[in-house]
Copies of this chain bind each other. A is one copy, B any other.
Amino acid sequence: MQITRIDCIPFNLPMKNPVRYAGGTLTVSEHVLVQVHTDEGLIGSAEAPSRPFFYGESQASMLAAVRQWFAPALVGQDPMGFERAWAAFDQVEHNDTIKGALDIAMHDIAGQAMGVPCHRLLGGWDTSARVTYICGYGAPQAMADEALAVRERYGIDSFKLKVGVDARQDVAMLHTLRQALPDVTLYVDGNSGLNASDALRVLDAGYEIGMAWAEEPVHRDDRPGRALVQKHTRVPIMGDESCRNPAEVAREVADGFVQLVGIKTARTGFRISRNIVAQCAALRIRNVIASQGDSTLGILAALHFTVAHRATASQPAELGFHLNTVADLLEDDALPPIVGGRMRASEAPGLGVRLDAAKLSRYRVD
């Protein structure tokens, strides 16, 4: 089997509520649909979310990257040739999410060709995962109300709370949330936006309310700040923006600055995400599947990866971002529902992607 063509279709999805975080606000999802075609008629699908603030990519840069670099390297090649694909990807710096989408689309083909769902192809640990819901930044009571409604409706019992705009309000919010939801998993995400002093203020409150961990409170380049946080808190720190690839993971782990590492399949595809799982396992570093603001298409991929591996299925996974968007590209039941706080992967071969042609034609922007 050979890859014959790669289609890239930019699409924009409106969001129900803008997501506010320490570094800015996300009001519309500008993604690219990647479709890898083969001479046997199989098509692999994945999405690449453009996040210029985090990865420096745009829809235009992704289309150009595929046209100029990656399609010439992949067309004519075996869609299962992941080592060759990544050797080609490694020839070009950055461009993380488009590389990730190509890798995932190739895995979709591999699973279809072999008649197995990707989660079995990858490791077959489990078939369902506990889901985390991400609460956008807001007034404490509004965030508590949102979390309560989500728990009521979906049974979700794990919540990530954006912090980093105002440390004293963050502290109040943590107490409000814990009072409203005494028994759930709570953790915060600073999106690299806090100085060490504010971070410690939030972490101290987090420790008091039994917070599970704290994601990237202090920027990766603030090494003294990270050291200070490490020294003075007992709350485990999870690396995200500091752990975008295996070399960065190695640095943070070696410095002792992270006790958990976030993995985004949108960022490292399946192949390199698995590599990160492997390097973390060697040192008993825990993994959390995190969200890149994926639409249902990206969440479907993240779900397969999560349930496939013991390391990623052991913590709740951020598979609930679609609850916050108003639109997606898939048929309405293509992403499994969240029931009792869990999402169950299907046994359809590959990723089981079922695109809705009407939605695609409505949201595509080419």
Contact = CB atoms under 8 A, between A and B. Distances in A.
Interface string A93-115: 00000000000000000000111
Pick from A87, A278, A283 the residue with the most CB of B within 10 Å: A278
Interface string A65-84: 00000000000001011111
A308 interface: yes
Closest 9 CB pairs of A and B: A246-B282, A275-B278, A114-B114, A83-B125, A278-B278, A81-B124, A83-B123, A279-B279, A250-B282
A21 B266 CA distance: 49
Interface in A116-156: 116, 120-121, 123-125
A234 interface: no
B254 A120 contact: no
Contacts of A278: 246, 274-279
A264 to B, nearest CB: 17
A247 B283 CA distance: 6
A364 interface: no
Nearest to A78: B124
Given A82-B123, A276-B278, A278-B279, 9 more contacts: A83-B125, A83-B310, A84-B124, A87-B310, A246-B278, A246-B282, A247-B283, A250-B282, A278-B278
A309 interface: yes
Contact of A78 (B120, B254, B281, B309): B120
A194 to B, nearest CB: 27
Interface of A: 78, 80-84, 86-87, 113-116, 120-121, 123-125, 246-247, 249-250, 254, 274-279, 281-283, 308-310
A235 to B, nearest CB: 24
A13 to B, nearest CB: 33
A118 to B, nearest CB: 12
Nearest to A313: B83
Contacts of A246: 278, 281-282
A9 to B, nearest CB: 27
Contacts of A83: 123-125, 308-310
A116 B80 contact: yes
Contacts of A308: 83
Contacts of A82: 123-124
A195 to B, nearest CB: 29
Contacts of A247: 282-283
Contacts of A80: 116, 120-121, 124
